[in-house]
């Protein structure tokens, strides 16, 4: 299964993805807009132009990003049929690098909680996670090579875990948010999904990141971090984290007690209360950012309206305190990383939950999102009932290139799509 390397043909990539769409889309419903004819034309133009780093790569765009040629509805009835004038900055940069946009992918309502129709391709009765649900499912099924998502709590890392693909959330601010519908600006981060971590890194560079780092282990090794929420992860999610540590040791990577394979309670205390602070920051910024939507007489789900109503009761003092908690944790990060460059932690509480009425719990992404650290979901583990489980790797502030170098070293081979699995 080709994964798109920048060396291929855009037209062939569109044809390949169109076949996956025919196979999967009726069941998975990952797309709000799909324009395969327009994509074929764009691919022909891309193939005729000078090759770019993403020539031959197809792209799904979470419907939180503006597109000049496709409706952009933010998963919200208030924006039905909305047509932006311009592409979001990310979309413009990826297109200029040769990527061909296939369409817009399903998002939970305004990238919050209320799910869209997308189903988990590994088991159709289960959620693919959210809010970047369509993007994760489209990549998992080979309907797109890369798909843009956004993360405000756990909206990239969690669906990547549930769908068994690589998901990358760069450092906050590393990828441009212009043309993205903002929900909680000090948290909102552009992320993306792929079946190959090398492709995650190509996208990072196209969006403005620094040069590629040679794949390999981090110079100072790994540390397994049992965050204060560790016991809320399922046995198989905890097991996946611990299994990765074992694999690393087996591959001769210097991760041992001395360099910090485990952290003491005091060190993990750097993160105490950070999840609660994230929830406060998210709630307050969301109710401010969605001030117009909140005041419309109709058009929001009851679920989102209740969230906004409750968020409106949180005062500025609680928000300031949460920002202070973030600042202290950032100042104390060296005590958490200590000698390590990469932390290993759960990506989600477990396998994708059954049912399509929710999108699962972003718990294990909240603290890293609040701190703005780069994180990646490493797929490959299988949970107790046979669904995918990811492991989260967390890099030092701004060490995006280094983190993806580790990801590429971990998995030189692409993750198979669902279709390729037994």
Which one, 152 or 227, has the nearer CB to a copy of itself? 152
- Residue 352 is given by DSSP the state P
3-state secondary structure of 398: coil
155 is catalytic: yes
62 binds a copy of itself (CB under 8 A): no
Only segment of 4-12, 30-38, 192-200, 288-296 that touches a copy of itself (CB under 8 A): 288-296
386 binds a copy of itself (CB under 8 A): no
Q: Which of 219, 265, 295, 302 binds a copy of itself (CB under 8 A)?
A: 295
Q: Which of 109, 145, 293, 351 binds a copy of itself (CB under 8 A)?
A: 293
Smallest separation, CB 379 to a copy of itself (Å) = 28
301 is catalytic: no
92 binds a copy of itself (CB under 8 A): yes
Q: Is 344 exposed, middle or buried (0-12, 13-18, 19+ CB in 10 A)?
A: buried
3-state secondary structure of 354: strand
Nearest to 245 by CA among 263, 272, 264: 263
Q: Which of 24, 31, 65, 79 binds a copy of itself (CB under 8 A)?
A: 79
Which one, 182 or 248, has the nearer CB to a copy of itself? 182
335 binds a copy of itself (CB under 8 A): no
182 binds a copy of itself (CB under 8 A): yes
Positions 391 through 410 that interact with a copy of itself (CB under 8 A): 398
Only segment of 14-22, 135-143, 171-179, 301-309 that touches a copy of itself (CB under 8 A): 171-179
- Per this entry, what is the length of the chain? 422
Q: What's the per-residue H, E or C state across 167-211?
A: EEECCCCCCCCCCECCCCCCCCEEEEEECCHHHHHHHHHHCCCCC
Smallest separation, CB 331 to a copy of itself (Å) = 10
Instruction: Give kind and range of the element (H or E) at residue 366.
Output: helix 363-371
Which one, 119 or 294, has the nearer CB to a copy of itself? 294
Supply 204's token pair: 């990072």
CA atoms of 179 and 159, how far apart (whole Å): 23
Beta bridge partners of 126: 354, 355
- Asked if the bond preceding 33 is cis, omega within 30° of 0, the reply is no
292 binds a copy of itself (CB under 8 A): yes
CA atoms of 391 and 378, how far apart (whole Å): 5
- Residue 65 is given by DSSP the state B
- Residue 77 is given by DSSP the state G
Q: Which of 132, 141, 186, 280 binds a copy of itself (CB under 8 A)?
A: 186
Smallest separation, CB 181 to a copy of itself (Å) = 8
CA atoms of 282 and 274, how far apart (whole Å): 12
Instruction: Give kind and range of the element (H or E) at residue 128.
Output: none
CA atoms of 147 and 142, how far apart (whole Å): 11
Which one, 127 or 402, has the nearer CB to a copy of itself? 402
Cα 185 from chain centre: 16
Residues that bind a copy of itself (CB under 8 A): 68, 78-79, 82, 85-89, 91-93, 96, 173, 176-179, 181-183, 185-186, 207-211, 284-285, 288-293, 295, 316-317, 319-320, 323, 398
Residues known to be catalytic: 62, 131, 155
């Amino acid at each position: 299964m080709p994964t798109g390397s920048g060396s291929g043909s855009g037209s062939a990539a569109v044809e390949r993805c169109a076949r996956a769409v025919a196979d999967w889309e009726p069941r998975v419903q990952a797309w709000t807009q799909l324009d395969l004819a327009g994509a074929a034309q764009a691919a022909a133009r891309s193939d005729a132009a000078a090759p770019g780093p993403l020539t031959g790569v197809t792209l799904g765009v979470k419907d939180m990003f503006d597109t000049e040629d496709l409706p952009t509805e933010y998963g919200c009835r208030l924006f039905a049929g909305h047509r932006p004038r311009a592409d979001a900055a990310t979309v413009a940069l990826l297109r200029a690098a040769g990527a061909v946009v296939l369409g817009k992918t399903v998002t939970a309502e305004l990238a919050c909680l209320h799910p869209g129709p997308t189903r988990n391709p590994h088991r159709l009765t289960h959620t693919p996670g959210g809010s970047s649900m369509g993007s994760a499912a489209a990549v998992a099924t080979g309907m797109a090579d890369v798909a843009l998502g956004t993360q405000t709590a756990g909206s990239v890392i969690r669906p990547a875990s549930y769908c068994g693909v690589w998901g990358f959330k760069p450092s906050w601010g590393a990828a441009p948010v212009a043309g993205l519908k903002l929900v909680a600006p000090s948290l909102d981060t552009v992320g993306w999904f792929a079946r190959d971590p090398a492709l995650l890194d190509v996208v990072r560079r196209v969006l403005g990141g620094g040069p590629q780092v040679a794949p390999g282990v981090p110079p100072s090794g790994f540390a397994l971090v049992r965050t204060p929420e560790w016991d809320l992860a399922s046995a198989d999610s905890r097991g996946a984290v611990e299994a990765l540590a074992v694999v690393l040791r087996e591959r001769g990577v210097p991760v041992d007690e001395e360099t910090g394979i485990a952290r003491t309670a005091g060190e993990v205390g750097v993160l105490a209360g950070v999840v609660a602070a994230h929830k406060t920051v998210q709630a307050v910024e969301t109710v401010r950012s969605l001030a117009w939507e909140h005041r419309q007489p109709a058009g929001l789900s009851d679920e989102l309206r209740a969230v906004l109503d409750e968020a409106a009761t949180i005062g500025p003092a609680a928000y300031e305190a949460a920002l202070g908690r973030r600042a202290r944790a950032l100042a104390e990060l060296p005590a958490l990383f200590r000698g390590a460059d990469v932390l290993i932690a759960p990506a989600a509480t477990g396998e994708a939950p059954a049912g399509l009425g929710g999108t699962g719990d972003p718990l294990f992404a909240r603290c890293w999102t609040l701190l703005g650290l780069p994180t990646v979901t490493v797929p490959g583990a299988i949970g107790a009932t046979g669904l995918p489980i990811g492991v989260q790797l967390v890099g030092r502030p701004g060490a995006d290139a280094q983190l993806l170098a580790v990801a590429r070293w971990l998995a030189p081979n692409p993750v198979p799509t669902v279709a390729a699995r037994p």
